[in-house]
Structure 1
């Protein structure tokens, strides 16, 4: 699908938010570790970029040795900016990679697992509805219908896992 960089970044952010934070998923999905790494980078690297920028200027200015000067700090400014901008670009890169991954189709093995998961979720929904004998439909039925797609993508897998683990916890 043709998307702009901004749309890919938004999709990556959505993908990271949808993926459940359950360590046991790491045993079954390689993406769990990638999602955890992206979350870590997005959370801590902006502060690390600022810290690196400030420390670069501080030590280059000569203040720690008592011979500080603004001209030394200004001379180190381009280098400090490069380091800071590089570290600041890492969360953007992580979101782009997550967005590209979220838009990819599932491989055949995960595709069949996804379709089995949809069927199990439908059965669970029917059992839930019969157990309560209510006229009101199960709250996840609308979201479950949206997940029934012919060519599922990784974002659909994340939605299924989120739906499965959110309704299972209630």
Structure 2
């Protein structure tokens, strides 16, 4: 083992003793890629009228939601610095802090993307198990379907990370706002 790896293990052990959570998406960290932010998200589904969640909080009409009982397409805006080769998306429960078991990656770009921003499109199947990611990043608009009846079950954050041209992983960034998760009809 190299000294850097052993140093990371020691640092993680020290931080865990202090109740600090260390988030790393993979085995090797990128020196050439940093994700800056999840800058936006749009869902295939939005509330037609205002609705109440399980705690009695009101969600405004037009609020994007994930339909837990339907396939749902999300467009996630991401900004970065460096050589992005692939974008990965996963979810983190707002209440539990649990992270989804599956990381969804788009296709590997033919050349690294240095543009600094783009939109990853993913479709998740019922139960928040990611189904697929589109090829690369795009500027395609999502068609929003209004939802009239919902039963809000909870909230989730979108997390994004990337791979650089050497296959090393970037840091993880998270959406600032939570996305409601609901059964829709």
| TM-score after normalising by structure 2 | 0.19
| Rg comparison, structure with higher value | 1
Q: When the two structures are superposed, what TM-score results if normalisation uses the length of structure 1?
A: 0.20
Q: Which structure shows the higher strand fraction? A: 2
